[in-house]
Amino acid sequence: MNIDTARARLRPVSFVDVDELVHLDSDPEVMRFVSGGAPTPRAVIEDWVVPRAETERRMYGTGTWVLCDPATTAFLGWVSLRTPRHSTRAELELSYRLRRTVWGRGLATEAAFAMIAFAFDHLSTDRVFAGTVARNAPSRRVMEKLGMTLSAIHLCDDAADSAELLAIHPDRDRSEVEYEILRADWQERSLRWSSAGDLSA
């Protein structure tokens, strides 16, 4: 199922997107908070990333959507809703990754907003959550703009990463944060957003 936002089209990912996905994950700045900058091997995308998304789509109606420019169909990145494997809750994990050339225009927030709306309007989920490393300020800002609230902090407890070392090499801090939005919060915020006409209410 395609989903249209004000400035983008979201369509389910498929094998035709492999080259663009490889290219996206080859940008060290895009991968900085994901893998420390390391690219994702093409084989991982071909053998695991795309097949898993297609399985998710078939089994649960979730998966990964490619974010495209509606006029040119150009690949801009992706957003995803994933069913956590070992969870007994009705919950979905939200993720997003965009090309660096389109950062800072509100596109991740716009696309993630559409994903959350899809999750609560079309799937029987009670909770959408998203995680990232604590240092990923842009991603955390997206979560906050979506009305998500901080639900967990996992501090980096590696003894080798002392406070002094992390002060010199902040990129070594692997502490993680998780944000969530519950169905009731979403319904309440949606009402406020629809009456205010934007995402800043």
Ligand X SMILES: CC(C)(COP(=O)(O)OP(=O)(O)OC[C@H]1O[C@@H](n2cnc3c(N)ncnc32)[C@H](O)[C@@H]1OP(=O)(O)O)[C@@H](O)C(=O)NCCC(=O)NCCS
Q: Which of 23, 89, 122, 141 binds ligand X (CB under 6 A)?
A: 141
For residues 65-124, which are near ligand X according to CB under 6 A?
95-98, 103-109
As measured in angstroms, the least distance from the Cβ of 141 to ligand X is 3
Tell me the HSE value of 37 on the side-chain side, using a 13 A CA sphere.
4
Can residue 23 be called a binding residue for ligand X (CB under 6 A)? no
As measured in angstroms, the least distance from the Cβ of 32 to ligand X is 7
CB 126, CB 187: distance < 8 Å: no
Identify the residue whose tokens are 């979403």.
Answer: 186
Determine if residue 36 is left, alpha or beta; phi over 0 gives left, psi from -120 to 50 gives alpha, anything else beta.
left
Q: Which of 30, 92, 115, 128 binds ligand X (CB under 6 A)?
A: 30
| CA triple 120-123-128, angle to 5 deg | 50
Can residue 138 be called a binding residue for ligand X (CB under 6 A)? yes
Nearest to 129 by CA among 188, 82, 65: 82
Torsion over CA of 21, 26, 29 and 35, rounded to 10 degrees?
Answer: 90
The nearer residue to ligand X, 1 or 137, going by C-beta atoms, is 137
Can residue 64 be called a binding residue for ligand X (CB under 6 A)? no
As measured in angstroms, the least distance from the Cβ of 72 to ligand X is 18
Can residue 146 be called a binding residue for ligand X (CB under 6 A)? no
Can residue 40 be called a binding residue for ligand X (CB under 6 A)? no
Q: Which of 7, 12, 117, 136 binds ligand X (CB under 6 A)?
A: 136
As measured in angstroms, the least distance from the Cβ of 37 to ligand X is 11
| CA triple 115-120-124, angle to 5 deg | 120
Q: List phi, psi (to 5°) of 149.
A: -120, 155
Stretch that binds ligand X, among 38-46, 135-143, 148-156, 177-185 (CB under 6 A): 135-143
- Collapsing DSSP to helix, strand or coil, 132 comes out as strand
Residues engaged in binding ligand X (CB under 6 A): 30, 33-34, 95-98, 103-109, 132, 136-139, 141-142
